Structure 1
Amino acid sequence: MTSLRGHIQKAVDDGIWPAAQFAVARHGEILAFESFGEARDGDRLCLFSTTKPIVASVMWQLLGDGLITLETEVSEVWPEFAAHGKDAITLEHVLLHTCGLTNGAVDAELLPDREARTAAIADWKLEWEPGSRYEYHGFSAHWVLAELIERLTGQDYRAALRTRILDPLGLDRLELGVPKERQDDLRRVVGTGEYPLEALKLILGRRVEAAVLEANDAVVRSVANDPDLVALGIPGANAFSDAASVALFYQELLHNSSGLWRPDILADATGRIRNTFPADLMRSDAPVNRSIGLVIAGEGEGQILQLPSYETPLRTRPYGGRTSPRAFGHAGAGGQSTWADPETGLSFCLLVSGMDRDVVRDHQRHAAIESLVPELN
């Protein structure tokens, strides 16, 4: 049987991932940490959306401090946000990706200016009724969280993450908003492979043009590659870290040994599924299984789809299929994966620098790798 390391090395050898790192931890300690290809152990890679739970962990702390509740309307903290009918959006809606601002965006040149940024966000219009359905909010929701963090703490959102979470945990290699003078150890991201257009048509129920996909991917790659955006720090999109630091962060979510979070709030975040709307993938009825910041494996096998030209079926159950229903974590664009399983005490992180355009092959590759993590125990 091919080993976990063998799967990663093959992706590197095939040119899919120019650089890769993985780490496994248990009992608050690293069991395995290795770098492949162009990556060195001292390098850091972009987390993409695996950034989201890390930023949300600040909000969990503020919930525990009584500074806000899940039922609090965003406009109670940020009055200007109520424009265009957004007054009904609660913090829970934002954390669950049900707030109806899926496509909310801010022009890149406005992002560094907080006043201009918040004015643009306040002008966003609802796309659907908050709480009525789920659709993944790739960038929008966490800009709302960032502003809530600033208003509730009086700190810049990046500083709040550093002083409240990362510094107490000693995670100096995990960083949101990496200054240009500290970007030399960052691995940039490249696109590899070919788009599986026919498979995507079956999955999505519609044809998507390669040019459209490439334009979207170029935007995502810029999040990791543009020095200005990296220095800015896009909440929920471009923290950088080595894999070991992320695995240790998830150990803290398992054990809370530092006492950073009130136990009931942390238990809610890591263990209570609040969003069971259908996942926006494969026209599936399988629930998305989201908590207030994480994705929980849940019961069942998820959706299974056999696609032409692929020997192995596409399965939507996260984290390799061998974790318990209680496993929690979050994926990121381009093949980033982070999770922890309370049943085994293991946490896992895989970071890569190649965005495989063949998303079906990439998903299958990850399932094969992650299914082997328990063997490192």
Structure 2
Amino acid sequence: MTMMPSLQQKVQGVLDECVDSGAETGLQVAVCHHGDLVVDAVAGVADGRTGRRVTPQTPFFSFSAGKVMTSLIAHLLVTTGAVAYDTPVADLWPEFAAHGKATATLRHVLTHSAGVPAMPRDVGPADLTDWSRVCSAIADAEPRWRPGTATGYHSFTYGFLVGEVARRATGKPMRQLLHDWVTVPLGLDGDLYFGVPLPDLTRLARLEDGAPWPSGPPDGDALLAQWELRPTAAMGNSPEILQADVPSVGTFAARGIAAMNAAVLDGRLIDGHRLAELTAVAFEGTDQVFGNRVRLALGFPLGRIGTRPDETPTTFGWVGGGGSYVYADTATGISFAMTKTRLTPHFDTARRLADLITAEIDPPA
């Protein structure tokens, strides 16, 4: 571990200020630079009921920021030769061909262009723990557009699409592939989870709801159910959800997920050719759920929070509903992760920290 004392101190100061002001209640930030852990800062409480403090080892349920783990598993599937990016999903999962989805490929899944952004209306949060039920419902869903012709955020369907392809290709669930391919080789057991073992639940941070969420975009509300659009502490604290294999979301410690992405950047998990392929622009267009313009790599949005749309994107990662953020930067070698307990309808804290870290490690010329 090679810390940057000045940067560590500045990040710690921001975290302490956020907690002291009441803007946040508990946070973790970890930063790796060219593989070395240079920032490992925490502040506040992990559980407001008991006063238990956040530590660097505290795992947080971080909603869609966990998709970085899902996308990595997809790329490792391709690396092993189990599938190819252009393999039709239905080749492995024949039931998915229903209603004109036979042309949907893994590439379409990774670019959120498979055409099934929303969970079928008869599937609710409580059903997420029933893998077979959810996958059967998605397989029988009618696509909102012809696969590959448009993109729209696949909030919860994404993890089940990748996960069922992985299960059919390997015979293993996502939680086992994450364990076998990532956490054990990198020595991160206990830091990254799809499905938290019962004995580890007491280690987790307890989420809390923050300010009310504003009304969602009209198209988003039409396509996705409220529970798919707006995270709640009730979902993130649910023992049933936490223990289930739901790879649209994830539980992790900031230092663990930053270390994982550092291993992606430096070639320990993905070779240079594959890294270039997975971080290239794979789809540009208007997101059919949120209405914004997006640039997507294979499995990741491109560009850091707060960067201008005309900037060449070198970062890839995921935000998590409620304000968590994970990204890696191929140009600077930065791997950043921030987890937090208070769910907010904005990413102000994440943006502030990401800007600070980039300015300190890669100052403008």
Sort the TM-score into its range (normalised by shorter chain).
0.7 to 0.9
Q: What TM-score do the two structures reach when normalised by structure 2?
A: 0.83
- Residue-pair matches, total: 337
Question: How far 1:253 sits from its partner (Å)?
Answer: 1.4
Question: How far 1:349 sits from its partner (Å)?
Answer: 0.7
Tell me, yes or no, if structure 1 residue 345 matches structure 2 residue 333: yes
Give, as a single letter, the amino acid of the residue that structure 2 aligns with 1:160.
L
Q: State whether residues 127 and 134 of structure 2, in contact with CA within 8 Å, keep that contact through their aligned partners in structure 1.
A: yes
Indicate the residue corresponding to 1:122 in structure 2: 139
Question: How far 1:181 sits from its partner (Å)?
Answer: 1.7
Q: State whether residues 16 and 193 of structure 1, in contact with CA within 8 Å, keep that contact through their aligned partners in structure 2.
A: no
Q: State whether residues 61 and 262 of structure 1, in contact with CA within 8 Å, keep that contact through their aligned partners in structure 2.
A: no
Structure 2 residue matching 1:368: 3-state secondary structure: helix
Which ranges in structure 2 are unaligned for 5 or more consecutive residues?
1-8, 46-53
Q: Please, which of 296, 310, 327 is the counterpart of residue 302 of structure 2?
A: 296
Indicate the residue corresponding to 1:154 in structure 2: 171
Q: Please, which of 11, 32, 41 is the counterpart of residue 18 of structure 2?
A: 11
Give, as a single letter, the amino acid of the residue that structure 1 aligns with 2:167.
E
- What do the CA deviations read for 1:213-254 (whole angstroms, capped 9, x no partner)? 6x66776434321001110031021x2121111111111111
Q: State whether residues 64 and 262 of structure 1, in contact with CA within 8 Å, keep that contact through their aligned partners in structure 2.
A: no
Structure 1 residue matching 2:285: 3-state secondary structure: coil
Distance in 1, Cα, partners of 2:306 & 2:10:
14
Q: State whether residues 320 and 368 of structure 1, in contact with CA within 8 Å, keep that contact through their aligned partners in structure 2.
A: no
Indicate the residue corresponding to 1:266 in structure 2: 275
- Residues 89-238 of structure 1: pairs in structure 2 closer than 5 A: 89-105=104-120, 106-108=123-125, 110-172=127-189, 173-195=191-213, 204=217, 220-237=232-249
Tell me, yes or no, if structure 1 residue 330 matches structure 2 residue 306: no
Tell me, yes or no, if structure 1 residue 371 matches structure 2 residue 352: no
* Cα RMSD after superposing both structures: 2.7
Q: State whether residues 321 and 371 of structure 1, in contact with CA within 8 Å, keep that contact through their aligned partners in structure 2.
A: no
Question: How far 1:262 sits from its partner (Å)?
Answer: 4.5
Distance in 1, Cα, partners of 2:38 & 2:202:
27
Q: What TM-score do the two structures reach when normalised by structure 1?
A: 0.81
Give, as a single letter, the amino acid of the residue that structure 2 aligns with 1:337.
Y
Give, as a single letter, the amino acid of the residue that structure 1 aligns with 2:274.
I
Tell me, yes or no, if structure 1 residue 276 matches structure 2 residue 260: no
Q: State whether residues 129 and 246 of structure 2, in contact with CA within 8 Å, keep that contact through their aligned partners in structure 1.
A: no
- The sequence identity of aligned pairs, in percent, is 27
Distance in 2, Cα, partners of 1:180 & 1:339:
29
Structure 2 residue matching 1:184: 3-state secondary structure: helix
Structure 1 residue matching 2:102: 3-state secondary structure: helix
- What do the CA deviations read for 1:186-222 (whole angstroms, capped 9, x no partner)? 112111124456xx7xxx47999xxx96x66776434
Distance in 2, Cα, partners of 1:166 & 1:188:
23
Gap change, CA 1:195 and 1:262, over 3 Å in 2: closer
